[in-house]
């Protein structure tokens, strides 16, 4: 058989956009089914750019689509941020995983008896639940971002949102991805929290006709299936996230440096009720930008959109 040179086709796929601004708010509208819905707008957009979906993010998407267990039936093993060297060791240690035992589905509110349906290889509750931040995504000039790498399994340098000894009030059910270390001051244990859950309202799916006006939304309803319009359609999941005036302060204070954030990443995982933390944590997106220098009392509001083109 002769050697054949194969031309690799260009593929479009999942991509993400992170939008930063001030005065974030929800604008209500009635969707095509008569249900009250909303879109997120800013009074002023100050920065926006695209991210990448790394190799682990695509592997997770494929696993969800085809009921394939994490890191199974694949040419490579991505591993978890929980315990994989040289990754981070955050969240629930692998020895305490419970998700591996959730291998069937059933219902608890069905009006009729349901048989247990076996064969679940990836639990339904393993999903994208929060995000991480870092300070390794930009050059020392704080202006030049470093491009994300498709092969990366973690941020260039992750920074914890909160530390148990930072002295600031901590909201409940918000910070996860715990890592325990020893204080250099008194030898006591310090808990660092590397993952923050999304803001309300919860992530939601949008299909809309493409427009040049960022503050205009023309939703696509089910009449699209018989439409002859050639106007492009964009589809995305919209996620609201933020950094409070207390986030990252403890870490940078302990390092005796000013707060600078230039990396963001979405992560998925499975919530372990007994450990009150997440297992199977993996990066699903990675975004780098010029550094945001935090002054006292500063906050960040952002909208993360994951597009399917």
Dist CA 188 CA 190 (whole Å): 6
Closest CA to 262 of 15, 16, 14, 20: 20
pLDDT computed for residue 95 by the predictor: 93
> Of 110, 143, 96, nearest to 278 (Cα)?
96
| CA 235 and chain centroid, separation | 17
Which pair of structure tokens corresponds to residue 304? Answer: 């993360």
- pLDDT for the residue 1: 45
Extended beta strands in the chain, E state: 14-22, 25-30, 36-41, 44-51, 104-105, 117-118, 126-134, 158-159, 162-163, 175-182, 189-197, 204-209, 233-243, 259-272, 277-283, 287-294, 300-308
SS3 annotation, 260-282? EEEEEEEEEEEEECCCCEEEEEE
pLDDT in tens, the chain (309 residues): 455 455 444 446 788 899 999 999 988 877 777 878 888 889 999 999 999 999 999 999 999 999 999 889 999 999 999 987 667 899 999 999 999 999 999 988 989 988 999 999 999 999 999 999 999 999 999 999 999 999 999 999 999 999 999 999 999 999 999 999 876 666 688 999 999 999 999 999 988 888 887 777 788 888 889 899 998 998 999 999 999 999 999 999 888 888 999 999 999 999 999 999 999 999 999 999 999 998 889 999 999 999 986
Nearest to 247 by CA among 290, 284, 294, 291: 294
pTM of the prediction?
Answer: 0.91
What span, in angstroms and rounded, lies between the C-alpha atoms of 173 and 150? 31
pLDDT at res. 8? 45
Q: Residue 282 corresponds to which tokens in the numbers above?
A: 């993996």
Q: Where are the alpha helices (DSSP H) in the chain?
A: 55-66, 249-254
Q: Of 308, 266, 261, nearest to 285 (Cα)?
A: 266
């Amino acid at each position: 058989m002769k050697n054949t040179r194969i031309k690799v086709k260009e593929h479009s796929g999942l991509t993400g956009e992170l939008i930063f601004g001030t005065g974030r708010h929800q604008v209500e509208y009635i969707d095509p089914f008569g249900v009250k819905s909303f879109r997120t707008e800013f009074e002023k957009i100050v920065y926006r750019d695209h991210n990448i979906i790394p190799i682990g993010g695509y592997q997770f998407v494929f696993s969800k689509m085809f009921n394939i267990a994490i890191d199974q039936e694949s040419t490579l093993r991505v591993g978890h941020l929980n315990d994989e060297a040289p990754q981070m060791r955050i969240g629930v240690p692998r020895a305490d995983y419970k998700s591996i035992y959730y291998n069937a589905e059933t219902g608890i509110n069905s009006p009729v008896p349901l048989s247990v349906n076996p064969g679940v290889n990836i639990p339904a509750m393993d999903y994208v639940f929060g995000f991480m931040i870092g300070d390794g995504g930009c050059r020392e000039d704080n202006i030049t971002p470093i491009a994300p790498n498709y092969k990366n399994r973690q941020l260039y340098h992750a920074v914890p949102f909160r530390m148990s000894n930072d002295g600031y009030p901590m909201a409940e059910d918000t910070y996860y991805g715990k890592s325990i270390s020893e204080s250099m001051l008194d030898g006591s244990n310090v808990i660092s929290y590397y993952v923050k859950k999304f803001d309300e309202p919860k992530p939601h799916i949008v299909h809309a006709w493409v427009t040049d006006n960022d503050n205009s939304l023309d939703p696509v309803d089910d009449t699209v299936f018989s439409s002859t319009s050639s106007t492009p359609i964009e589809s995305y999941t919209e996620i609201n996230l933020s950094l409070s005036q207390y986030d990252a302060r403890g870490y940078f204070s302990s390092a005796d440096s000013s707060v600078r954030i230039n990396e963001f990443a979405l992560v998925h995982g499975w919530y372990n009720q007994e450990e009150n933390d997440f297992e199977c944590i993996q990066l699903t997106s990675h975004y780098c930008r010029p550094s945001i220098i935090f002054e006292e009392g500063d906050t960040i509001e952002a909208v993360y959109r994951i597009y399917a083109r």
